[in-house]
C-alpha cells in the first residue's frame, strides 16, 4: 500500500487490492496477530453507523489496540474547530484515525494534517472498506472475482463509485442501472472506466434495469437516500420508484447470482419486503466481512509503514 492512508480504492494498486482480499481471508481463518498492541485509534463519526463502527471497534480490539469513539456532537468537525486543528491534535495523541464524514474534503484535510494513517469509514463519494469487504464476500461465494459481472441498481452514490473501481481492479464487469440524473459522477465514471479499459473489463450504464441485470453474477443495491441527502427525500422517492430490486428483477440475473446490499436496507423502497432473506442473498456475510476486510487494511498499513 503506498502512502499511509486508505481514502479511496485508488490509494492502492490492483495487485494490492487482490492481496488485501487474500489477507482478509487469512485474517478471517486464522488467529489475529497483535499488530496494534499499545496503539490507539480515534474513530470520528459525523454520521450514524452500525456495521462500520462495530466492525472497526471489534477489529481494533482483536488486533490488540484501543479505540476512542468521537461523535460529531463532541468534536464538531469544521464547526467547533477547523478540521486541520482536530487533525493536528489527534496526530499527537493517537496512532490511527478512522473517519466517516459528510464531505470527502474533510478526509483529505485530516490526511494532510496528520502523519498517522487515515482510513475512510465512508464519505459522500467513497466507501472503500465496504467495496473491499464485498469483494471478499464475492470471492468466498464464487471462488474468483475475475470474469464476473456486477449489476448495481439505484443511485450512483458512494457505494456505487467504490464498487465501480473495485470491479475494475478485480477483473469484474460493472453495470449500473439508474435514473439519468443519478448516474455515477462523471469524474468517478471516467476514472473507473479508464481502469476498466486497462484491466480489460467493461462498464455500462442504462436507465433500463433489465438491460443491466440480465445475466449478472451479482445484483447489488443501496438506499435511494444516503446520509446527507435527506432534503431530497420526496424527489428521490419518486424518481427511484421504478428501481426497486425484487424477485422479478433478480430473475433477470443468473440463477446462482448473489444478491448484495451494504445496509441499512429500506424494505418497500430499494428492495421488496423479503429480498434480504432471498435464497441468493449474502447480505449478512457481507456485513461480517467488513470486520475481516478492515483488519486486512490496518494490517497492511501498519506492517508496511511501522
121 makes contact with ligand NVA (CB under 6 A): no
Cα 95–chain centre separation? 23
Closest CA to 260 of 277, 283, 242: 283
262 makes contact with ligand NVA (CB under 6 A): yes
137 makes contact with ligand NVA (CB under 6 A): no
Given phi > 0 = left and psi -120 to 50 = alpha, else beta, which region is 244? Answer: beta
Q: Distance between CA atoms of 220 and 39, rounded to whole angstroms? A: 36
Rank residues 50 and 93 by Cβ distance to ligand NVA and give the closer one. Answer: 50
Q: Which of residues 71-110 bind ligand NVA (CB under 6 A)?
A: none
Q: In the bound complex, what is the minimum distance in angstroms from residue 212's beta carbon to ligand NVA?
A: 18
Single out the residue of 106, 114, 120, 158 in contact with ligand NVA (rule: CB under 6 A).
Answer: 158
| Phi, then psi, of 62 in degrees rounded to 5 | -60, -25
Single out the residue of 58, 108, 227, 265 in contact with ligand NVA (rule: CB under 6 A).
Answer: 227
Taking contact as CB under 6 A, which single stretch among the options 174-182, 218-226, 249-257, 280-288 is the one that binds ligand NVA? 218-226
Single out the residue of 67, 113, 114, 226 in contact with ligand NVA (rule: CB under 6 A).
Answer: 226
Taking contact as CB under 6 A, which single stretch among the options 74-82, 219-227, 247-255, 297-305 is the one that binds ligand NVA? 219-227
5 makes contact with ligand NVA (CB under 6 A): no
Closest CA to 170 of 6, 3, 16: 16
Q: Distance between CA atoms of 121 and 49, rounded to whole angstroms? A: 10
Closest CA to 146 of 135, 157, 154, 156: 135
Single out the residue of 11, 217, 222, 269 in contact with ligand NVA (rule: CB under 6 A).
Answer: 222
Strands 218-221 and 96-100: unpaired
Q: Distance between CA atoms of 301 and 287, rounded to whole angstroms? A: 22
Q: In the bound complex, what is the minimum distance in angstroms from residue 223's beta carbon to ligand NVA?
A: 5
Interface with ligand NVA by CB under 6 A: which residues?
Answer: 122, 157-159, 222-223, 226-227, 262
Amino acid at each position: 500500500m503506498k502512502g499511509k492512508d486508505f481514502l479511496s480504492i485508488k490509494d492502492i494498486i490492483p495487485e494490492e487490492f487482490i492481496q488485501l482480499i487474500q489477507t482478509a481471508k487469512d485474517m478471517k481463518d486464522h488467529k489475529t496477530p497483535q499488530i496494534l498492541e499499545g496503539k490507539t485509534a480515534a474513530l470520528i463519526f459525523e454520521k450514524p453507523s452500525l456495521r462500520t463502527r462495530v466492525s472497526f471497534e471489534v477489529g481494533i480490539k482483536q488486533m490488540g489496540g484501543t479505540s476512542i469513539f468521537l461523535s460529531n456532537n463532541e468534536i464538531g468537525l469544521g464547526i467547533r474547530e477547523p478540521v486541520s486543528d482536530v487533525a493536528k491534535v489527534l496526530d499527537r495523541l493517537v496512532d490511527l484515525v478512522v473517519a466517516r464524514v459528510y464531505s470527502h474534503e474533510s478526509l483529505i484535510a485530516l490526511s494532510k494534517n496528520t502523519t498517522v494513517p487515515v482510513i475512510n469509514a465512508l464519505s459522500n463519494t467513497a466507501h472503500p472498506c465496504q467495496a473491499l469487504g464485498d469483494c471478499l464476500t464475492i470471492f468466498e461465494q464464487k471462488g474468483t472475482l475475475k470474469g464476473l459481472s456486477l449489476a448495481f441498481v439505484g443511485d450512483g452514490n458512494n457505494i456505487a463509485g467504490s464498487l465501480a473501481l473495485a470491479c475494475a481492479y478485480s477483473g469484474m464487469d460493472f453495470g449500473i442501472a439508474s435514473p439519468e440524473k443519478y448516474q455515477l459522477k462523471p469524474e468517478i465514471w471516467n476514472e473507473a472506466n479508464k481502469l476498466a479499459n486497462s484491466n480489460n473489463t467493461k462498464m455500462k450504464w442504462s436507465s433500463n434495469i433489465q438491460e443491466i441485470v440480465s445475466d449478472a453474477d451479482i445484483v447489488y443495491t443501496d438506499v435511494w437516500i444516503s446520509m446527507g441527502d435527506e432534503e431530497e427525500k420526496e424527489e428521490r422517492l419518486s424518481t427511484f420508484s421504478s428501481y426497486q430490486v425484487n424477485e422479478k428483477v433478480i430473475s433477470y440475473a443468473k440463477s446462482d447470482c448473489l444478491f448484495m446490499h451494504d445496509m441499512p436496507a429500506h424494505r418497500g423502497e430499494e428492495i421488496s419486503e423479503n429480498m434480504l432473506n432471498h435464497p441468493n442473498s449474502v447480505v449478512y456475510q457481507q456485513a461480517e466481512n467488513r470486520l475481516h476486510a478492515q483488519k486486512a487494511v490496518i494490517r497492511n498499513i501498519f506492517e508496511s509503514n511501522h
